[in-house]
Amino acid sequence: MPALETYSDEELSYFFEEYIKDKSCKTPSEFFSELGIDIEELKIIRERVFTINPDLYRLFVNSWREKNIDRKNRVERKNKQRVSKILNLIENVEDLDVLEFWKLIPYDGDDNFLYNIIDYVKKNHIEKYYDFIGYLARKRILYDEGLLRINPDEIKSNSTLTGDETVSATSNKFIINYMEKHNIPMIRRAYYDVLESYIKDRDKIIRDVYGMGPVKTKKIKISN
């Protein structure tokens, strides 16, 4: 982007008008970064627009607030849908794979996120509450140490000893990459569940990370 000094007041105001009209619920930093404007430059532009056109700036702030509320509502609706899908899978699938659970579970970075979800299920899906609690218990998910956050960079740089198996730093990179790809919470229990899956079938995890899909087996026809 050219230096800010080269833009007229009208052009800078135009950027703000476009943000107000935008329907994507992006934050100002997300929207303006697409125009090549970084956070520090955005601060300068906001000061200039506030000075030259206070009414436009007021509309910008209101739009920002409305988009923020809309974005939170969208996230909340999506999270409720994901929880409902988990509950339905637990009810209808004989033994839901724990990795599929982690891929679906909403995670907001709160250390109490799972307890918040449990409270939500109890209040809104009481008929499926005990099945949900039972699943968490069977999969050894519901214990405090398991919900502790992990440091992905630290894990990728070190090996992990689990039982008689030593998982190398290289293997840990695949495990963390798999978690990042599927938005699996960076917490202790989820890491060890992916680690266990990796030990059982490392090719499956590696192929998934590279987007290669499962290995296709050929059927061999035996003639008499």
Q: Residues 61-96, buried b or exposed e (16+ Cβ, 10 A)?
A: eebbeebeeeeeeeeeeebeeebeebbeebeeeeeb
Neighbours of 48 (CB within 10 A): 16
What is the reported pLDDT for 215?
52
Closest CA to 66 of 98, 1, 124, 20: 20
pLDDT tens for 21-40 read: 998 888 999 998 888 888 88
Name the token pair of 118: 């449990």
pLDDT tens for 127-147 read: 999 999 999 999 988 876 888
Residue 108 CA to residue 30 CA, distance in Å, equals 19
What is the reported pLDDT for 26?
86
Name the token pair of 7: 């833009």
Q: What is the largest CA-CA distance in the chain?
A: 89
Name the token pair of 208: 């998934």
What is the reported pLDDT for 115?
92
pTM of the model: 0.73
What is the reported pLDDT for 214?
61
Neighbours of 185 (CB within 10 A): 21
Residue 93 CA to residue 105 CA, distance in Å, equals 16
Q: What is the pLDDT along the chain (224 residues), one digit of tens a residue?
A: 555 667 788 888 998 999 999 988 889 999 988 888 888 888 888 999 999 999 999 999 999 999 999 988 988 999 999 999 999 999 988 789 999 999 999 998 888 899 999 999 999 999 999 999 999 999 988 876 888 899 999 999 999 988 788 899 999 999 999 999 999 999 999 999 999 999 999 999 999 999 876 655 444 455 54
